[in-house]
Amino acid sequence: MVMLLELNEVLIEGERQTSSMMAYAGELTCLTGGTATRRTRWLLAMQGFIPVTHGCICIDGEPLTTASSPVMRKLISYSPSRLCESGEVTTYKPPTVQDVFSLRQNRDIPISNGILGEEVRRIGADADDPRVQLLAVAVLLNRPIVIVDDPPVEAGAYLKQLTAKGKLVVVATGDDRLLAFADKVAELL
């Protein structure tokens, strides 16, 4: 059975318009329109971090609820556009690659500087861009669904390659050049 991420007339907290979307495994689905913040909120809603006030988000036919989202997240890896503190936090350190791969659930996944470097090289974007490393980490977690927020435009071909491996890839972007790689485009109103 092909994995499916479905948004059915979904309204999330803080939004005024509902959205619908069907993303299948083996396809690159782009979420566009609206502001970057709104797109990020929709991606977070797909992982159960923003409450759904109307409609239903389903993964493989199973509705994403507050109770089911911790289990559903095991199918997802997420690459945010940035990781930083918002406000005054003394000695804030963003999570490192080691932090992610030393989590109990990820301990068995092989990781080394060589593996990470190779994945970063495959992405084909500027390696100094923090989004590239976050994307490489999300891919190396090897989950069936990869959710990417605002990736660099050079990563378009790489994201398309991921779908060839059977991944369900959802990308939020405002860049038309990335939309050229998409199999499906969902536009926020």
Place of tokens 């190396």: 140
| Least Cβ distance, residue 92 to other proteins (angstroms) | 7
| Least Cβ distance, residue 66 to other proteins (angstroms) | 4
**Rounded distance between C-alpha atoms, residue 92 and residue 59, angstroms:** 34
Nearer to other proteins among residue 116 and residue 185 (C-beta): 116
Residue 78's identity, in one-letter code, is: Y
Residue 8 is a binding residue for other proteins (CB under 8 A): no
One character per residue 96-125, x = contact with other proteins (rule: CB under 8 A):
---xx--xxxx-------------------
Residue 83 is a binding residue for other proteins (CB under 8 A): yes
**Rounded distance between C-alpha atoms, residue 171 and residue 107, angstroms:** 27
Characterize 104-117 residue by residue with b for buried, 16 or more Cβ atoms within 10 angstroms of its Cβ, and e for exposed. Answer: eebeeeebeeeebe
Neighbours of 160 (CB within 10 A): 17
| Least Cβ distance, residue 96 to other proteins (angstroms) | 11
Q: Which of 14, 35, 36, 74 binds other proteins (CB under 8 A)?
A: 74
SS3 26: coil
Residue 78 is a binding residue for other proteins (CB under 8 A): yes
**CB distance 139 to 77 below 8 Å:** yes
Q: Which residues bind other proteins (CB under 8 A)?
A: 44, 47-49, 51, 65-67, 69-70, 73-74, 76-78, 80, 82-95, 99-100, 103-106, 137-138, 141, 147
